[in-house]
């Protein structure tokens, strides 16, 4: 699975199977992780701001 995803390279030497990280595979994985985390953290920040604004609004109504 890792080989088909381009993350590792496979070489057979006799009866041994040797695997190594594929140079370009990690770049793709890193870009995916950065995009995923950027989206997740952006959503978290937006929700945090919404909750803070809601609490401030509720506090102002009470006073």
Q: What are phi and psi of 24, to 5 degrees?
A: -80, -20
For residues 29-49, average pLDDT: 93
Tens digit of each residue's pLDDT (9 = 90 or more) over 8-30: 999 999 999 999 988 887 887 78
CB distance 22 to 7 below 8 Å: yes
Residue of higher predicted confidence among 53 and 32:
53
Q: How many CA atoms lie within 13 A of 59 on its CB side?
A: 6
């Amino acid at each position: 699975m890792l080989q088909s995803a381009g993350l590792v390279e496979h070489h057979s030497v006799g009866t041994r199977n040797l695997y190594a990280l594929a140079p370009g595979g990690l770049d793709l994985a890193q870009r995916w992780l950065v995009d995923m985390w950027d989206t997740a953290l952006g959503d978290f920040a937006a929700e945090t701001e919404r909750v803070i604004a809601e609490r401030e609004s509720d506090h102002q109504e009470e006073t």
